Amino acid sequence: MVKLCHQRHPDYLFARTNLAAIHLQNGDTAQADAVMQHKWDLKLMYPHRDVFHVTEFTAMSYVAIDYFMQTGNRDAAELILDAMVKLAPDHEATKSLQKGMYGSLLTKFLDRLSRRSRRNLRPAR
C-alpha cells in the first residue's frame, strides 16, 4: 500500500516518509535518500510553503534522524532531535527518539567501559 500510495502521489510527504522508512528498515539508505530526493528538510522539499503541521514535521524528522544515524551523521541527527524537543516535546516520536538515541549512546558507553575494565582485570602474563 505504501509503494502504491507513493506511486500515485509522489509529492505527498507522508507517502515519501513512509516509503523511506521502509527502505531504512531494510537498511537501504541509498533508496531512502532517493525517495526523499536527497532533501531531509521540509523547507527544501516544499520551498513554496512556510507553514507545516506538527505531524509533517515529526514524520520528516523521524525518518531523517533514522537516515542520519544509519549513515553515521550523528551530529545532524542530534540537531534534528533538538528541534523536535523544542517544537514537539510531548509527541510520541520525540520521546521514542530520545530514548533510542540516548539509550544507544549509553549502551555504547557502558560496553566500552566494560571492555576496558575486563582488559585491566586480566592477570599479567
* CATH classification of the domain holding 83: 1.25.40
C-alpha cell at 99: 530514548
**Three-state secondary structure readout of 28-43:** CHHHHHHHCCCCCCHH
3-class DSSP state of 73: coil
What total number of domains does the chain contain?
1
- pTM of the model as a whole: 0.76
- Please give the residue range of the domain that contains residue 59: 2-121
- Which pLDDT does position 113 carry in this prediction? 65
Residues of the chain with pLDDT under 70: 102-125
Q: What angle do CA 13, 16, 22 make, to 5 degrees?
A: 140
Supply φ then ψ for residue 51, to 5 degrees: -125, 135
